[in-house]
Chain A
Amino acid sequence: MVEKRLMYGNHALVEGIIYAGCRFFAGYPITPQNEVPEYMSIRMNEEGGVFLQTESEIAAINMLFGAGAAGVRATTSSSSPGISLMQEGISYIAGADIPVLIINVVRGGPGLGNIAPAQSDYYQATRGGGHGDYFTITLAPNSVQELFEFPRLAFELAEKYRNPALILADGLLGQMMEPVEFTFEPIDPKTLPEKNYALTGCKGRERRVVRSYDLRSGKLEELNWKRYKKYQEIIKNEQRYEVINDNDADLMIVAYGTCARVAAATMKMARDKGLKVGLLRPITLWPFPKDKLAELGARINNFLVVEMNCGQMIDDVRAATRFRPQIHFHGRPGGGVPNPPEVLKKIEEILGGAQ
């Protein structure tokens, strides 16, 4: 049996990043992810990697651009306001097609907001976030175990498509503790394949250029179409989700991250009362699991989207289900966290009303 360790979510993220073979971290402290840089400063030192507490988030993301361009696995971590500061850099990284890992342990917003868990950065995470036509591959863990496992997955996807990847967690996932199984051996960065774009000094080979622009007439349009094709490939190949109890469902809850945990508990309470409730949990928020939702939307009449915001993912659920079923919403913005009894009440209202 694999050994289990009781860990904070933020600490599991750090181990996951180290185990993924990443040896470059730059970031600036912000609650509720301060345990990431704190613990990372110890672990990177132990592993002989680079840990930098930068003067700002802007510096961190630009260092990530540099490290990524040099071909190494590089990570930054922050929370909502800090991620907003990074958007220019993320856009440049996406424009240069450089794989890096960005972690957002989301807190209440907008503005300074508060330090409580939230999902109000969904639009920002899934629509690119900065300027220009781009997307980041976005993963939504819902357990401390997944916080350990997803950095590796994020790097694999990022490198496969040469695209920045984002892990969208929230304050609750970061602050909670659960047992973690170290399900894979740590990756030695020396064993990772060399990148054919990496800027490593051009002595003895053709010179390489990493940049987010091409000023020759028509070239930028060409680059954007090329990237568009890449995005179509990602959308086709990488939609990830977990689906439970959909076969007989009268109502499907759609929720990710912390809300998916609350939804799973609610589903169990509802089933105990004889209410046929299922759960779809998007694991990739971009690409959104729209194919599965299209299939579910064709045969299930009620959907309940549960989010820690005023309703953002609900737009993607509406579009994916082609506006056919009834789409209901239960949201808690500004750091509010839904609990199973209140979600169950909402389900009883919906299904009670339908009978």
Chain B
Amino acid sequence: MTRELIIAGFGGQGVVSSGIILAHAGMLEDQHVTFFPSYGAEMRGGTANCSVVISSEPVASPIVAEPDILIIMNEPSLIRFEPQLKPQGLLLYNKTLIKSEPKRTDITIIPVPANAIAEELGQGRIANMVMLGVMAKKTTLLKLDTLKKAQRVRYKKASEEQLNLNDQALERGYNFL
């Protein structure tokens, strides 16, 4: 089974980190993985996105044209990527920051107040962890515990306090559904 994801949002929302955490978690669960970020002429406050493929077989193409799962953190990314989602695909979007409604009727849509939940934990910037937690629950693609392990690799220079907060955000997302 192969599942292709695109994660998109503002630069600074942890979009690229989320992708790396997913890829790392996939590897820890003995899946084949690829991660590819948009790179280069991006700027702070501009849009960032990355593609992740997690598969039981070797990954042929790291380029995701029609994702199975979309994790959308801001409004411009919703407009750009919603049309690309596969029919019957899963759209998770950050309800706190996105005011417009998704238009597709052939997909599963889950609005997540990701920034609001993160703010309750005291830190808006961990909204990305909330989204990953929701995805783990909804898709059974990756275990919550594996995501916790993977975030500790990604943020290996962070304080124990911060890492625990990330874990909590993952859990809040996981228990959101």
**Chain A 264-282 per-residue mask, 1 if CB under 8 angstroms from chain B, else 0:** 1111100000000000000
Taking the nearest CB of chain A, how far is it from the CB of B108, in angstroms?
22
Tell me how many residues of B have a C-beta within 8 Å of chain A. Answer: 20
Q: Complex formed: what's the CA distance from A59 to B65 in Å? A: 41
**Contact indicator A32/B23 (Cβ below 8 Å):** no
Q: Complex formed: what's the CA distance from A114 to B37 in Å? A: 16
User: Is B40 located at the chain interface by the 8 A CB criterion?
Assistant: yes
**Contact indicator A262/B23 (Cβ below 8 Å):** no
**Contact indicator A6/B24 (Cβ below 8 Å):** yes
- Please provide the chain A residues from 1 to 27 with a CB less than 8 Å away from any CB of chain B in the complex: 4, 6
**Contact indicator A264/B23 (Cβ below 8 Å):** no
**Contact indicator A337/B66 (Cβ below 8 Å):** no
Scoring A32, A258, A265 by chain B CB atoms within 10 A of each residue's CB, the highest score goes to A265
**Contact indicator B37/A268 (Cβ below 8 Å):** no
User: Is A115 located at the chain interface by the 8 A CB criterion?
Assistant: yes
Q: Which residues of B contact A114 (CB under 8 A)?
A: 40-41
Taking the nearest CB of chain B, how far is it from the CB of A260, in angstroms?
9
Q: Complex formed: what's the CA distance from A176 to B34 in Å? A: 7
**Contact indicator B27/A176 (Cβ below 8 Å):** no
**Chain A 148-181 per-residue mask, 1 if CB under 8 angstroms from chain B, else 0:** 0000000000000000000000011001111100
**Contact indicator A176/B35 (Cβ below 8 Å):** yes
**Contact indicator B24/A32 (Cβ below 8 Å):** no
Taking the nearest CB of chain A, how far is it from the CB of B172, in angstroms?
26
Binds A, one of B55-63, B92-100, B136-144: B55-63
Taking the nearest CB of chain B, how far is it from the CB of A277, in angstroms?
13
**Contact indicator A115/B27 (Cβ below 8 Å):** no
Q: Complex formed: what's the CA distance from A116 to B36 in Å? A: 12
Which chain B residue lies CB-closest to A173?
A: B62
**Contact indicator A339/B40 (Cβ below 8 Å):** no
User: Is B20 located at the chain interface by the 8 A CB criterion?
Assistant: yes
**Contact indicator A6/B63 (Cβ below 8 Å):** no
**Contact indicator B62/A172 (Cβ below 8 Å):** yes
| The residue from B27, B62, B66 contacting A6, defined by CB atoms under 8 A apart | B27
Q: Which residues of A contact B41 (CB under 8 A)?
A: 114-115
Tell me how many residues of A have a C-beta within 8 Å of chain B. Answer: 27
**Chain B 55-91 per-residue mask, 1 if CB under 8 angstroms from chain A, else 0:** 0000111110110000000000000000000000000
| The residue from A4, A6, A268, A342 contacting B60, defined by CB atoms under 8 A apart | A268
Q: Which residues of B contact A267 (CB under 8 A)?
A: 60
User: Is A31 located at the chain interface by the 8 A CB criterion?
Assistant: yes
**Contact indicator B39/A32 (Cβ below 8 Å):** yes
User: Is B33 located at the chain interface by the 8 A CB criterion?
Assistant: yes
Which chain A residue lies CB-closest to B36?
A: A176
**Chain B 31-59 per-residue mask, 1 if CB under 8 angstroms from chain A, else 0:** 01111110111000000000000000001
Which chain A residue lies CB-closest to B154?
A: A6
Q: A176-B62, A262-B63 are in contact. Are A115 and B39 (CB under 8 A)?
A: yes
Q: Which residues of B contact A6 (CB under 8 A)?
A: 20, 23-24, 27, 33, 35
**Contact indicator A265/B39 (Cβ below 8 Å):** no
Q: Complex formed: what's the CA distance from A265 to B66 in Å? A: 13
**Contact indicator A264/B61 (Cβ below 8 Å):** yes
Q: A4-B27, A116-B40 are in contact. Are A337 and B33 (CB under 8 A)?
A: no
User: Is A261 located at the chain interface by the 8 A CB criterion?
Assistant: yes
Q: Which residues of A contact B33 (CB under 8 A)?
A: 6, 178-179
| The residue from A171, A179, A340 contacting B65, defined by CB atoms under 8 A apart | A340
| The residue from B24, B36, B59, B61 contacting A175, defined by CB atoms under 8 A apart | B36
Q: Complex formed: what's the CA distance from A267 to B61 in Å? A: 11
**Contact indicator B23/A340 (Cβ below 8 Å):** no
Which chain A residue lies CB-closest to B20?
A: A177
**Contact indicator B40/A32 (Cβ below 8 Å):** yes
Q: Which residues of B contact A261 (CB under 8 A)?
A: 59-63
Q: Complex formed: what's the CA distance from A42 to B41 in Å? A: 26
**Contact indicator B62/A341 (Cβ below 8 Å):** no
Scoring B34, B37, B61, B66 by chain A CB atoms within 10 A of each residue's CB, the highest score goes to B61
Query: Shortest 9 CB-CB distances between A and B: which pairs?
Result: A265-B60, A265-B61, A339-B65, A264-B60, A177-B35, A115-B40, A176-B36, A262-B61, A179-B27
* 12 A–B contacts, CB within 8 A, in A order: A172-B62, A176-B34, A176-B36, A178-B33, A261-B59, A261-B61, A262-B61, A264-B60, A339-B65, A340-B60, A340-B63, A341-B65
A interface, CB within 8 angstroms of B: 4, 6, 31-32, 114-116, 171-172, 175-179, 258, 261-262, 264-268, 337, 339-342
A sample of 7 more A-B contacts (CB under 8 A), given A178-B33, A178-B59, A264-B61, is A4-B27, A114-B41, A115-B40, A171-B39, A261-B60, A340-B60, A340-B63
